[in-house]
Amino acid sequence: MKVFVAGASGTIGRRLIPMLVRAGHVVVGMTRSPGKADIIRAAGAEPVVADALDEDAVLAAVRHAGPEVVVHQLTASRPGSTSGHSSGTSRSPTAYASKALGTWRPRRARPAPADSWRRASPGGPTRGRADQ
């Protein structure tokens, strides 16, 4: 299955990509930093550089990749920008990813669960304060 990971060079994405590759998936990983493309490539994915706050760039990246599944791991934001978790903003990476999904239909789209960072350890689920 071809999987597009938005936020591939982030904390979750860097751990997720090797797991997807080991499971036999073809992975395309999006990052906003050209300097992080090599990290994505070394993990076994095809890197694509696009600014998550640039609607046209996100749409083009997803369309070009043509994945069956999109995994949204966009969690970081720059000073003065809106977060992917904001609602009602004019510059929302989540809105752009959703729009890309609306222009063609992958088999699945997965937003990041709010507590996904706790489950991203290479050894499996971790226990956080709420679990104790």
Tell me if 129 is assigned to some domain: no
Tell me if 118 is assigned to some domain: yes
pLDDT of residue 3: 92
Give 10-residue mean pLDDT values along the chain (132 residues). 92 94 96 95 97 87 88 68 44 65 55 50 44 38
Distance, C-alpha 18 to centroid of its chain: 14
Tell me if 128 is assigned to some domain: no
Cα–Cα distance for residue pair 106/66, rounded to 1 Å: 8
Tell me if 132 is assigned to some domain: no
**Range of the structural domain that residue 109 is part of:** 2-123
Number of domains, the chain: 1
Q: What is the CATH number of the domain that holds 8?
A: 3.40.50.720
Tell me if 131 is assigned to some domain: no
Tell me if 113 is assigned to some domain: yes
For the entire predicted model, the pTM comes to 0.68
Tell me if 130 is assigned to some domain: no
Tell me if 21 is assigned to some domain: yes
